[in-house]
Amino acid sequence: MRSRPLVDEIERYNRTMKNIVKLKNYWFPEELEREIGQFVHWYNNERVHESLSNITPRDMYHGKQREILIRREKIKQKTVKEREQPNLKSRRKNNYTVNPRITHKRVSQRL
């Protein structure tokens, strides 16, 4: 069976719009148009998309994906390092050994 990525994304977009926009009653066409406009803005500028590595379409369009992923990786590495310190002390107290072969993926490997 062939994959249908474009069709799947259009269906996902429509399903998301239906779940957000169609749940309200609109008395005037202008209300519906305004709500759809707000939805499109939110969908393209604020909502992160899993298929885009949790980047907004706006950031992807403007070429900010690499910058955002590098910033996230730095935060992740800092957080991991901060969490490791207390855990290493605890392991040393309890005579646990640390496996040095376990590593974290780098952003450059994903890009």
pLDDT tens sequence for the chain (111 residues): 455 666 777 788 888 888 888 888 889 999 999 999 999 999 999 999 988 899 999 999 999 999 999 999 999 999 988 888 776 666 666 665 556 555 555 544 555
Q: Using the structure block, give the residue that is written with the tokens 């403007």.
A: 62
Confidence (pLDDT) at 1: 47
Q: Looking at residue 105, what DSSP letter applies?
A: P
Q: Looking at residue 55, what DSSP letter applies?
A: B
E strand or H helix that includes residue 58: helix 57-61
Query: What are the residue ranges spanned by the domains of the chain?
Result: 1-47, 65-111
Angle at the Cα of 58 from the Cα atoms of 56 and 63, rounded to 5 degrees: 100
Q: For the chain, percent helix, then strand, then coil, each to nearest 5?
A: 70, 0, 30
- The gap from C-alpha 42 to its chain's centroid, in whole angstroms, comes to 14
